Chains A and B, each alone.
Chain A
Amino acid sequence: MQNNRIERKFYQLKARKQKGLICYIMGGYPNPVDCEKIISAIVEGGADIIEIGIPFSDPIADGPVIQEAAFKALQKGVTPQICLNLIKNTRKRYPELPIVIMTYSNILQKNGFKKFMQMAKDAGTDGFILPDMTIDESERYLEYSKNLELASIFLVAPNTSNLRIKNTLAVSTGFVYVVSIYGTTGMRNSFNKYTLTAIKNIKKLGPKKNISVGFGISTPQHVQLMSNCGADAVIVGSAIVKMIDSNEERDIVQLQNNLRGYVKSLKAACTI
């Protein structure tokens, strides 16, 4: 199964005995022009998959860092269309880069799921992550995903039952997003045993699925820890958004260098 960019990427990674690095950025943040440069730096640093957040006014699964970025992006007038344009431009530059959208269901609902997903597909998107979309509510979303050949990436939490994990794995395409902790997105200093147990369990239930772990991950040590438990990829979000935030001098070249270096250090930890 290598008929889409995400699957192809994981296939290559496995052949190279590498874990995947998925990097999140907030679409249009801190502004649309710099955002494209930020993506380039992250890709040059070694990111395997890019996750682009479309800001939503009420991001309940996000911690303070991403909430704040979404709030500021919306204040500056970032729209879903601006984010799709960003994807279009990124796609031109990187024809093989897997790009997924992370946003909330209402952004799709407003246009109609079908129409918005078509627009996203046309822009070059490979799939969707919707943290407030459960498998129980996903009948039509899954139908459109299938028709448009978009990955439907569902989340699995540490407290998800085995039966539900199996059902989720059955309808997830591209990869499965394992939420590492009880909580919202954002950096954590350490992880509890339950996180590691959950990853091992999910990998056991879906040995052929691409298991990606996110929430709280920010250091090469975290990357290794998750890899050792069987994760096929890790997702880093808030740490990157925070680096973008702290670039107060608005020196984009400096920021690009910092991000490139940071992503490189994470990717170095991805080699088995």
Chain B
Amino acid sequence: MTKLREFPIEGKYGKYGGKFIPETLVPAINELEDAYEKIKNDSEFKNELDYYLKNYAGRPTPLFFAKNLSDYVGGARIFLKREDLLHGGAHKTNNCLGQCLLAKRMGKKRIIAETGAGQHGVGTAMAAAVLGLKAEIYMGSMDIERQKLNMFRMELLGAKVHSVDSGTKTLKDAINEALRDWITNVKDTYYLIGSVVGPHPYPMIVRDFQSVIGEEIKYQLKEFTKRSPHALVCCVGGGSNAMGTFFPFLDDKDTSMYGVEAGGLGVRTGKHSATLKEGSEGILHGMRTFLLQDEFGQITDTHSISAGLDYPGVGPQHVQLKDLERAKYVTCNDNEALDAFFKLSKLEGIIPALESCHAVSYGMKLARKMKRDENIVVTLSGRGDKDIDQVMKYRQKFIGR
């Protein structure tokens, strides 16, 4: 039987993935595929990336036993993989450094990227700055309105931010606009996708650069217990922190996996971003995957309290894992995520990103049902400083009532 870690096979994860792209991008995608094949096992490249991950970004990030939280829940032991401590404040930096170094190897000087909440944009701007590349970031005008601070951060880091006014003016439109830029400037431009989405080989490249998360968990947990984790819990928007966490464990039968999507105001209200749970098969942004779409195939608006999960698609490998029931995909509503935000802040002194709160919330739920000698690892994909303003507004509204 084919091992799950051997995917993609010919660019596909079962029937998902592939390359659905305008012809102009085909040579660029093929060039990227060839370049990645070359550096994948190149020790010089690996050493250079490791150098930046360690000395610039602060890897390895700790695996922290959240004793207070575990005691409060009263079930399995909860460990937190602290990607929130990575430079930039989220796991995004892993991928940005990897791809910027790859771009450099390919002789590309100009980097373009999309960003939703701004975390991937900030990561790209940082990596480009330290590696001497020029970065231009596409961001929906609606997202800029919601995340003004991150736009300023990107500009401070030397990146140029393009406001995107088309469509719904959010992440998916920023991706559309970045793709249009790439079609136009395909010769000298590198498109740095921020999640395990897009045409092959992007879902694979981003997954590989994020897999450092799962690899570290593997050896770090051994300091606490001889057993492998019973469960891994991660939030899923596009799904890069989840894939980075899951991938090294895919063929370990003892470890179960949970991807937590944004349930928004509740999946029944239609205002959510639960693509795997509520979506259907479709083709968008270069891949065959699951999408939130209407009966005619038009992509629908998404909602989540966390802008980072606000995406109507999902990485194709996640759809394969769902189909094979290797990972389970669940949802967590805005309110539950907020509750986790307050709990983790108070109990452990860690303010988590609202995205990560979805994983924390489900992790608590799961721990309650598990035995005390079992272990759950929750990936804390980012820190919550960026969300404090929004949480304050929500709380005022709540107390006002």
Contact = CB atoms under 8 A, between A and B. Distances in A.
Interface stretch (B182-190, B256-264, B334-342): B182-190
B284 A182 contact: no
Contacts of A80: 296-297
B349 interface: no
B26 A160 contact: yes
Contacts of B176: 58-60
Nearest to B18: A137
B400 interface: no
Contacts of B297: 56, 80, 106-111
A59 B280 CA distance: 19
B180 interface: yes
B166 A71 contact: yes
Contacts of B282: 106, 109-110
Interface in A95-144: 104-111, 131-134, 136-137
Nearest to B173: A58
A80 B166 CA distance: 21
Given A61-B183, A182-B183, A106 B284 contact: yes
Contact of B291 (A106, A155, A159, A164): A106
Contacts of A107: 296-297
A137 B17 CA distance: 10
A189 interface: no
A161 interface: yes
B22 A60 contact: yes
Contacts of A60: 22, 176, 179-180, 183, 285
B73 interface: no
B293 A155 contact: no
Contact of B172 (A58, A111, A133, A134): A58
Given A60-B176, A60-B180, A79-B296, A132 B283 contact: yes
A133 to B, nearest CB: 7
Contact of A57 (B23, B179, B186, B298): B298
Contacts of A157: 22-24, 26
A90 interface: no
Contacts of B179: 60
Interface residues of A, number: 42
Given A58-B172, A60-B179, A105 B20 contact: yes
A109 B283 contact: yes
Interface residues of B, number: 36
Contacts of B107: none
B6 interface: no
B286 A132 contact: yes
Contacts of B366: none
A73 to B, nearest CB: 11
Given A60-B179, A71-B167, A182-B185, A134 B293 contact: no
A74 interface: yes
Contacts of A108: 297
B11 to A, nearest CB: 8
Contacts of A131: 22-23
A67 interface: yes
Interface string B171-200: 011001001100111110000000000000
Interface string A45-81: 0000000000011111101100110010010000110
Interface string A157-189: 111110010001000000000010011100000
B19 interface: yes
Nearest to B297: A110
Contacts of B373: none
Q: Which of A57, A110, A179 has the most C-beta atoms of chain B within 10 angstroms of its own C-beta? A: A57
A266 B283 CA distance: 36
A111 B297 CA distance: 8
Nearest to A137: B18
Contacts of A61: 22, 180, 183
B23 A134 contact: yes
Given A56-B298, A74-B298, A182-B183, A67 B283 contact: no
B265 interface: no
B21 interface: yes
A158 B23 CA distance: 9
B142 to A, nearest CB: 14
Contacts of A132: 20-22, 283, 286
A106 B299 CA distance: 9
Given A57-B299, A157-B24, A159-B24, 19 more contacts: A57-B167, A67-B167, A104-B283, A106-B282, A106-B297, A108-B297, A109-B297, A110-B296, A133-B20, A134-B23, A134-B26, A137-B19, A137-B20, A155-B23, A157-B26, A158-B24, A159-B27, A179-B23, A182-B186
26 contacts: A56-B297, A58-B173, A58-B176, A59-B176, A64-B166, A68-B166, A105-B283, A106-B291, A109-B282, A109-B297, A110-B280, A110-B296, A131-B22, A131-B23, A132-B22, A132-B283, A133-B20, A134-B19, A137-B20, A155-B22, A155-B23, A157-B22, A159-B186, A182-B187, A183-B184, A184-B180
Interface of B: 18-24, 26-27, 166-167, 172-173, 176, 179-180, 183-187, 280-286, 288, 291, 293, 295-299
The 10 closest A-B pairs by CB, nearest first: A110-B297, A157-B24, A183-B184, A105-B283, A57-B298, A157-B23, A155-B23, A57-B299, A106-B283, A106-B297
